[in-house]
């Protein structure tokens, strides 16, 4: 369950100094990189994020690393432990249930709005993304979780509500941490066929049907998680032995 922080930093250190001198702010680039690693499950819940090593890996001042980690702390995906530094958050059972409930209701709203506001061009973009999803999951691409998350963000974009889009992006990051901790299946949970049905219903402007399909989609995701205290106890024991 636990990974060393050097595993993440060393993967990107050769390219970091070049990319972080680009047009975009260094802190935003690092933030995006860490978020992608959380969604891709390269960074795991409970993993230590060593500021000194990250600063060295990316060739940026430690103060900038700290600001990025504090931003992620404010989004509840990083936590600071007294005298130990920053760690990727480990959502509790109650936090996981709250995040799941919030995401379920939020995405039900977004698919309804997408039905009202979807254009042929936007629907075509969703169908094109379904092809990318099939490729990612069929070939077990390292970014398949990020690809699946992008699909949900695309629907939120069609809904044309910036507040909902921001809220969903935050929930998706926390949800990936929940999956990392509590998923029970040894294989990859692929529900692209359900994404396809949601797109068909959005294209048909069937708001009720799309909302119902979204609920079924989240029911299936929930069944892949073991949100029990027994599971949490197993995680705590495993990680205590890994320290």
Where are the chain's structural domains?
Answer: 5-88, 93-229
Q: Give the neighbor-by-neighbor strand order of the sheet with 48-49.
A: 48-49, 85-88, 78-81
Beta-bridge partners for 87: 48, 79
Q: How far apart are CA 44 and CA 184, in angstroms?
A: 16
Long-range Cβ contacts of 216-223 (<8 Å, 24+ apart): 217/191, 218/100, 218/103, 218/104, 218/107, 220/189, 220/191, 220/194, 221/189, 221/191, 222/100
- Taking residues 156-181, what's their average pLDDT? 93
pTM of the predicted model, to two decimals? 0.81
207-218 pLDDT, tens digit per residue, is: 999 999 999 998
109-128 pLDDT, tens digit per residue, is: 999 999 999 999 999 999 99
The class level of CATH for 93-229 reads mainly alpha
Q: How far apart are CA 66 and CA 50, in angstroms?
A: 10
Q: How far apart are CA 75 and CA 167, in angstroms?
A: 10
Q: How far apart are CA 211 and CA 77, in angstroms?
A: 28
pLDDT value at residue 224: 87
pLDDT value at residue 20: 45
Residue 174 has pLDDT above 80, yes or no: yes
Q: Hey, is 82 helix, strand or coil?
A: coil
Burial of 95 (0-12, 13-18, 19+ CB in 10 A): middle
85 — phi, psi (to 5°)? 100, -155
Tell how far CA 209 is from the center of its chain.
26
CATH of domain 5-88: 1.10.10.10
Establish whether domains 5-88 and 93-229 are of one fold: no
Residue 28 has pLDDT above 50, yes or no: yes
Q: Please report which confidence band the pLDDT of residue 186 belongs to, taking 50, 70 and 90 as the band edges.
A: low
pLDDT value at residue 60: 87
Q: What percent of the chain has pLDDT over 90?
A: 60
């Amino acid at each position: 369950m636990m990974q060393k922080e050097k595993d993440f930093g060393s993967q990107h250190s050769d390219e970091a100094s070049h990319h972080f001198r680009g047009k975009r702010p260094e802190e935003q680039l690092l933030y995006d990189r860490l978020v992608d690693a959380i969604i891709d499950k390269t960074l795991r819940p409970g993993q230590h994020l060593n500021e000194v090593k990250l600063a060295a890996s990316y060739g940026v001042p430690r103060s900038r690393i700290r600001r990025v980690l504090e931003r992620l702390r404010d989004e509840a995906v990083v936590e600071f432990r007294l005298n130990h530094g920053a760690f990727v958050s480990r959502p509790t059972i109650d936090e996981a249930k709250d995040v799941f409930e919030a995401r379920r209701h939020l995405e039900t709203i977004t698919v309804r709005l997408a039905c009202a506001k979807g254009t042929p061009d936007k629907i075509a973009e969703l169908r094109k993304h379904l092809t990318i999803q099939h490729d990612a999951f069929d070939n077990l691409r390292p970014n398949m979780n990020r690809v699946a998350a992008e699909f949900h963000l695309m629907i939120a974009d069609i809904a044309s509500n910036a507040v909902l889009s921001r809220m969903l992006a935050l929930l998706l990051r926390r949800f990936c941490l929940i999956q990392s901790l509590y998923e029970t299946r040894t294989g990859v949970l692929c529900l692209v066929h359900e994404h396809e049905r949601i797109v068909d219903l959005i294209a048909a402007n069937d708001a009720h049907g799309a909302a119902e399909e979204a609920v079924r989609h989240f029911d299936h995701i929930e069944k892949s998680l073991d949100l029990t205290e027994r599971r949490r106890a197993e995680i705590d024991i495993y990680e205590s032995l890994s320290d």
